[in-house]
Amino acid sequence: MAKIPTIVERRLRAATKEAVHPDAGALTEFLERSLGEGERSQVLEHLAHCADCREIVLLALPEAALETEVRPGFSKRWLSWPTLRWAAAAACLLLVGGAIVGRHARHEKLEVATFTAAPQEPDGQLASKTIHAGPNAATLDKIEAQPSPTSQGNLEANGPALSKAPRVNSGTAGGMLAAMNSYKNENAPTTALPSHDAKLPASSEAVEVAEAPAPAAPGANAAAGAGIVTGGVQSRMETPPATNETVEVTAETPVIQAESAQMARGKAKDSNIDLDNKKEELPFQGRNFTQLAGLAPAGLWRLSDSGTVERSIDGGKTWQVIPVAGHVVFRAISISRSEVWVGGAGGALYHSGDDGQSWVQVKLSKDGVPLGADITTLEFKDADHGRLTTIDRQVWTTIDGGVSWQKQ
């Protein structure tokens, strides 16, 4: 990063004004990008001079925003020196290999020409010796005498090497592409959500919940870990049921009768694809699984005022209603990676393990008595540890990702 002259740093530091600090509301709106252009400029003008307010803004920024703001499709590791070094080496090998193959092909053409130019016996019959023994000796000598960039020995050595030379798009990343494809088959597609009619309310009053885990959860790293964590969670979801299923879960018995994880839309047609043939169609060829996992559009979730579940994949500019259960008014939502839990009136609890593609209703009951109170809070610190509370102050917790729940 280019450095600024020290005098600039000093003058920036010196240019501090005693000004009226923006109130909490203005700073919140600044962070949530809901200020008008003029107001935003004013807040920025103040922040440019006020270290305290800059500190406040940073502390008020949800931890998730530090991750989800990183636009998918770009990973710093792609530009790191080790990766670049190997990519450069692979490119060089490719060039060299291409040059050698090209020359080899030219040599073969020359040899064929020599065959056809072989002298005939005076009686017009081709000497069998000439035909079967190869090119005319004199011509062959001429060929061999010509300087060749690679000797025959080298050609032979390079031949097998060429065939083994890693191709950038499928060699070095071949195993990873297979893993990527496997990931695509087993998980939600990384493409955009199915389009819904934009049933946006006139206002956007709702609690917005970022997709990454709650701030207290340490070590969250959406870009690098999303795919791996998701894969781990998904491993529990083995059977591909229909889009919506009802699961009865009692408080103490750690059994879920059926789990979700609807498969990717493209699974059936993608399962047998030939990687080499399909690589041109893959939008992100050459990237590894972790990088591709980070390419999924980061989403924001919220509950609207009327209790519907909504999601935005463009940073909050537009919102789509996610159909979960049409009759239920939801009041609580918790997101952990692609695990989404929503709870609402009458003890309604729904879970999606694939970023909202499909939902499973989870019915909690204890001693045969189902949970009927409104769920008012839901919190999952990570994919496994969750907690919900109800309007009548019941507290239920899970430590296994919702497979079993215990009433506290």
Residue 340 Cβ, how far from another protein at the closest point, in Å? 17
Q: What one-character-per-residue DSSP string does 194-231 give?
A: PP------SS--SEEEESSPPTTSTT--HHHHHHHHHH
Phi and psi at 103, nearest 5°, equal: -65, -40
CB of 54 to another protein, least distance (A): 6
- Closest distance between another protein and the C-beta of residue 37, in Å? 11
Q: How far is the CB of 171 from another protein (least distance, A)?
A: 28
Nearer of residues 216 and 242 to another protein, judged by Cβ: 216
Alpha-carbon separation of residue 172 from 90, 166, 200 (angstroms): 9, 6, 46
Q: Which residues contact 123 (CB under 8 A, 6 or more apart)?
A: none
Closer CB to another protein, 8 or 89, in the complex? 8
Neighbour order of strands in the sheet with 406-407: 375-380, 386-390, 395-398, 406-407
Between 105 and 391, CB nearer to another protein: 391
Q: Side chain identity at 159, as an amino acid letter?
A: G
Neighbours of 266 (CB within 10 A): 14
Rounded least distance, CB 210 to another protein, Å: 10
> 18 vs 281, which CB is nearer to another protein?
18
Distance of closest approach, residue 260 Cβ to another protein, in angstroms = 26
The minimum distance between CB 342 and another protein, in angstroms, equals 14
Q: Would you say 97 or 347 has its CB closer to another protein? A: 347
Nearer to another protein, 183 or 405 (CB): 405
Cβ neighbours of 377 (radius 10 Å): 15
User: Is the CB of 55 or the CB of 121 nearer to another protein?
Assistant: 55
CA–CA dist 59, 186 (Å, integer): 37
Q: Which two tokens stand for residue 273?
A: 């694809």
Cβ-based nearer residue to another protein, 157 or 395: 395
Give yes or no for a contact between 130 and 139, defined as CB atoms under 8 angstroms apart. no
Q: Which DSSP string do the residues of 43-62 spell out, in sequence order?
A: HHHHHHH-HHHHHHHHHHS-
- Return all residues near 394 (Cβ < 8 A) that are at least 6 apart: 371, 373, 407, 408
8 A C-beta contact, residue 244 and residue 265: no
Min separation Cβ 321 and another protein, Å: 17
Which residue lies nearer to another protein by CB, 52 or 123?
A: 52
Task: Tell me how far, at minimum, the Cβ of 193 lies from another protein, in Å.
Answer: 21
Could you tell me if 296 and 302 are in contact, meaning their C-beta atoms sit under 8 angstroms apart?
Answer: no
Longest dimension (CA), the chain: 112
